[in-house]
Structure 1
C-alpha cells in the first residue's frame, strides 16, 4: 500500500496552513504554524511570486494532503466527480468526505485521518458488520460503521471520544456509546459538510488544473 512518508510538519509549513496531520501536536504549542515558522527550504519566505499555475497546484496539494490521498487516487476521484450530476468541484469534495478513513475520523473514533487509516488497515473497523481494511472505501448512506468489540480496538476509539476534539458533522450520526462506538452515514455529504478546517479551499481552481 503506497503512502506518503514525508515529514508532515513540513507539508503544513509549505502550504502555510494547518493540515492537522500530526494529531495532538497540531493543537499544542509546538505546532510550527502557530510559531509562524517560514516555508521549508533555504529561501523560506523569499520565494518569488507564485504563478497562476502554482496557485492552482498549491490548492490541489492542500486538498490531497489534508485527506491523505496520492495522485493516482486523486485522479480516480476526479473521474468519479466528472461523471456525477452537479458541480464537479463539490462532487469531488463529497467523494473525499465519504472515504472510510475520513468517516472514522469525523465520527470521533480517531484523532486524525492518519490514525483513522491505521485503524482501518489493521482491521479494527466493521462496516455493516463486516471487517473492512480498505481505507479508501467510499461509504454509502445507510452504512453503519462500528469499532470491533475487542479491547485494543475499543481503547483507541474511547480515548479519542473522551477528548471531545472532533465535531461530528450533520451527515453522520453517532448511534453507539463511548463504551461501544458506532456511527451511521445518514445522507451523502454536501459542500456545507466539508471539514470546517478546510472550508476555504477553492475547489474550482483544483478542477481547472485537473482538466489539464
Structure 2
C-alpha cells in the first residue's frame, strides 16, 4: 500500500482525531465519519479499533504499509516494549524531526523539504526522509529553504510546540537532538498497544 494522497480532512473525520503530521486542519463540527451513514455511529469491532490506531500512525508519519511493517519488526526485536520502541523509531525519522522542529507545517511538507535538498543534516545536504536521527545530530535549513514562504511562516509560528528532546537555535535556524524522544511525546492520541496487537497476528 502506497502513501495516502487523497482528501486529508475526510481521513481525519473517519479516524475521529487530528493528525498534525498529515494536516494543520482538525475535524470540524461534523465530528462523525464521512459518508451517507456517517452519523449512524456503530460500535467498532476489535479489528476495527486496531486497524484505526495503525492507520493513525501510517497516515501521520506518511509511511507505506511496507515501511511501517519493517519498523514494527525492528521494534519487536528490541529489548524495549514493542509499542514504545515503534513510536520512538517513527519520531526519529528526519522528515518528522524537520516537522517537529518547526521548519514545516506538516510532516508531508517536511518530507518535500528533505526531498528537494533544502535540509542540512550535520552540515551536509541530504534527500532521504527516513534518515534516523540520534542525540547530537544537528539539522538546519539551507538559505534557499529559509526563503520558502510556507517555511518562513512556520518558523514565525510553528504548527506545534517544539518538544523537549530538541534544542532550537533561533539565530542559526537549526535544531539539535538532545535525547531520544519518549513514546509519551507523540503529538496525537494513540493506543499503541492496539497497533502491536494488529501486527502480532499478521507478521
Q: TM-score, with normalisation over the residues of structure 1? A: 0.86
Does structure 1 residue 205 correspond to structure 2 residue 194? yes
What is the rounded CA distance, in whole Å, between the counterparts of 1:11 and 1:201 in structure 2?
A: 16
Equivalent residue, structure 1, for 2:35:
41
Does structure 1 residue 115 correspond to structure 2 residue 103? no
Q: Is the 8 A contact 1:158 1:181 kept in 2?
A: no
Which structure is higher in helix share? Answer: 1
Shift of 1:47: 5.0
Equivalent residues, number: 197
SS of the residue aligned with 1:126?
Answer: strand
SS of the residue aligned with 1:44?
Answer: coil
Does structure 1 residue 183 correspond to structure 2 residue 175? yes
Equivalent residue, structure 2, for 1:22:
23
Q: TM-score, with normalisation over the residues of structure 2? A: 0.90
Q: RCO higher in 1 or 2 (8 Å CA, sep ≥ 6)?
A: 2
What is the rounded CA distance, in whole Å, between the counterparts of 1:14 and 1:165 in structure 2?
A: 22
The one-character-per-residue Cα deviations of 1:142-174 (angstroms, maximum 9, x if unpaired) are 111010123xx1123332111244311111111
Does structure 1 residue 82 correspond to structure 2 residue 83? no
Structure 2, unaligned runs of 5 or more:
none
Q: Is the 8 A contact 1:171 1:193 kept in 2?
A: no
Does structure 1 residue 136 correspond to structure 2 residue 133? no
| 2:184 counterpart (168, 182, 192) | 192
Shift of 1:37: 4.7
The one-character-per-residue Cα deviations of 1:157-196 (angstroms, maximum 9, x if unpaired) are 332111244311111111342xx4111111111123222x
Equivalent residue, structure 2, for 1:166:
160
Q: Is the 8 A contact 2:105 2:158 kept in 1?
A: no
What is the rounded CA distance, in whole Å, between the counterparts of 1:35 and 1:155 in structure 2?
A: 35
What is the rounded CA distance, in whole Å, between the counterparts of 2:155 and 2:31 in structure 1?
A: 31
What is the rounded CA distance, in whole Å, between the counterparts of 1:201 and 1:109 in structure 2?
A: 24
